[in-house]
A and B are shown apart, each in its own frame.
Chain A
Amino acid sequence: MNYALIALGITLIFAIMGVLNFAHGQMYVLGGFVTYYVYGVFGLNYFVALAASAVTVACVGLVFERFLFRRVLRITTREESTMLLAAGTALLLDSLGLALFGEKQRGVAPVVAGVYEIFGAFVPASRALIFVLAGGLVGALLLFIQYTRPGRALRAIAQDKETAALQGVDIDRYSALGFALGAALAGLAGGLLVTVFAVNAGAGTPISIKAFIMIMIGGAGVVSGAILGAFVLGFSEALGYFFIPGSTTYLMILVGLIVFLIFRPQGIMGKPWG
C-alpha cells in the first residue's frame, strides 16, 4: 500500500507534466524526516506530523514546478532537458538532506502499541495502522481523481493538454496542483514508513529507483498500472526476502524486469491515462 502511494505520486507527476520525477525518493525521505522531527523529536500528534510532511513536500514540489520545470518546459521540447533538470533536483535534495539532517538513520517509536493476530500471522498494530492509512489515502486519491472537478481537470490535462485548455482549464494552475499532489504523496509515504523502517539522508535514490520499477511494470502514466506495479514489486520483494538470501533478490527483480520489458515495453496496463 505504501508502494502504491509512491507509485501513484510519481505517476501523477508524469501524466500531468510529462516529467519523470527523479527526486521522488528524496521527497519521500524529506517527508520521513519531517515526521521524525514533528512526531519523534517535538512529540506532537502523529497525524499532525503526517500533515506537516505532506504540506512541506508539496511546497517543495510547488517550488520545483513553478520556478524550474514550468520554465524549462516552456523554452524547450527536448525530453532530455527535463530529465536532466529532474536528476539535478534529486541531487540538490540529496545534498540538502545530508547537510540538514546529517547521515544518521532516524526512526520513531511505533504510533500505537500492541500486536494483532490475523490469519495466524502476528502483525504489529503500528504496521496495521500504517497499512490502513495508506490504503485510505490511495482510495481517497482515486475518488478525488475520478469524481471531482479538479480531478477531471487533471485527467483531461494528462490525456490532451491543448484540448483541456480549450475547455477552460488553467493549465499552469492545474499542473502545479498535480505536481504538488504527487510530491505530497511522496511525503506522506515517507511519513508513514518512517515509523516502520526509519530513514536516512541517503535513502532517496533507492526509493526513486523502486518507484521507476513500479511504473515500468505497470505502465507509465496509468493509475491502475501504478497500483498494480506497486503490488507486483511488493510481493516480489516479500517472496524474495523470504526464499532467497540477502541482496540477490533485487538482482533477480531487475533481471526479471528487463526480460519483462523486452516482451511488453509499455508495461502491463500501458496506455495513456484513464
Chain B
Amino acid sequence: MLLDDLIDSAQSDELLDEFAKREIRRAILAAVAIPGYQVPFGSREMPVARGWGSGGLQITLAVVHDDDVVKVIDQGDDDGVNAVNLRRLVTTSTGADQTSIAAEASVIQSRHRIPEDGLDEESILVLQVPVPEPLRGVERDMRELARMHAEADYSRMWVSLYEDKVRNGVITQTTGYPCLVNDRYVVATTPIPRWDIPRLHESPFLTLFGAGREKRIYAIPPRTKVEPLTFEDVPFEVEHADGATCSLCKSNAAFLVSLPNSDVWMCSDTDWCRRTREASA
C-alpha cells in the first residue's frame, strides 16, 4: 500500500531531479577516471531504506534513459521481492523497458551477483554495496583509512589475510573478496561470491558500485585489471562443490547455491537456468 503510493508519486515526479542526476554522473565520471577510488556523493533519500539498494538505485536512475532496457536481480533472481520493487521504481521513474535477459539489458542493477552471461561492451553493471570500505575490518579511523588508500598501503589487509590463513588453514573470506583494481586501489567487491571475482578482470562492461548509506560511488571501467588479493602460493579458488549440479537444469557451469539444510543445488542466476532448461528441452 505504502509502496504503491510512493510509485504513484514517482510516476508524477521523478525520483531524482536533474540536479541530483548531474551530481551523481559527475561522481561516476570521477570514479571511472580513477578506477577503484571511492568518490563521495550526496546520497539522496530514496523510497527504499538505505542499505537496501539505495546507492545502486541512484546510480541506475542517473544513467538510465527512456531508451534503455533494465534488468534488476537480487542474488541472481529477477523475481526476488527487492528486485521486483526496484525494477518497478526504475522503469516507472525513467520510462525504460525491462528484461530478465542480461544480453538484452543495457543497464543491470544487481545485489550480490554478476549475471552468468550476456554482458558486453554495451552493458553497465550497477552493484549495490552495503560496505564500500574494504579496509573497514582492519581500521576504523577515517583519516587513517584515507591515508592507507592514498599511499596504497594495504599491508594491514595482507596481514588480515595472513591471519585468516593461519587461523583457519584457508582464506575464509567468501563474498566481497578484496581486489586490487588497476594496480592501485583495493576495493570491496560487495558481497558477490568468489565465483564472480575473475569475471571482473578485464571485463568488457563497465561496473559501477553504489553505496547509498555510506555515500560512496566507485567504478571498474571496461578492460581494467582486477586481481583478488592472494598470496602467490595460496591460489585464489572459486566456490565449488564436488559433483553438484543444478537440480533444475542439471548444469554445473554456473554458480550454484544449495537450499538451506539440503544437498539440493540450484543455479543462482535464475534467468540463465531458465534459458539452459529451454535450450535443452
User: Are A and B co-members of a single complex?
Assistant: no
What is A's interface to B at a CB cutoff of 8 Å? none
